[in-house]
Amino acid sequence: MTDFVLVLMIASSEKEAEKIASSLVKERLAACVNVIGNMRSSFRWKGQISSEQEVLILAKTKDRLFEKLKRRVLELHGYQVPEILAVPILAGFEKYLDWIERETL
């Protein structure tokens, strides 16, 4: 087990996703953030089934930074209830994990 997490988030647009990504990296809350566009999500919201074009955001960071990262995303995000999920990184290439360690707070 490592002390790192992969944080999955969804944004409504590439512009919003890029704003979140650049802020997290600039503020050293994540070492790397991937923005993956052209995704369709289906979900239930306020009693209705919806299908929307969305953008996936993947951030690599330390477990102990998750709460700060989450607060920052909530400041930048347009959704009332944004998806912000941390998945533990159980193992990884040691040099990559060392890089995450160096590039984050």
- In angstroms, rounded to a whole number, what is the distance separating the alpha carbons of residues 32 and 30? 6
List of domains in the chain:
4-103 (3.30.70.120)
CA contacts within 13 A on the Cβ side of 100: 22
Read out DSSP for 19-75? HHHHHHHHTTS-SEEEEEEEEEEEEEETTEEEEEEEEEEEEEEEGGGHHHHHHHHHH
pLDDT in tens, 9-54: 999 999 999 999 999 999 999 999 999 999 999 999 999 999 999 9
Q: What is the pLDDT, as a whole number, of residue 2?
A: 84
pLDDT in tens, 65-90: 999 999 999 999 999 999 999 999 99
Is 0.75 topped by the overall pTM?
yes
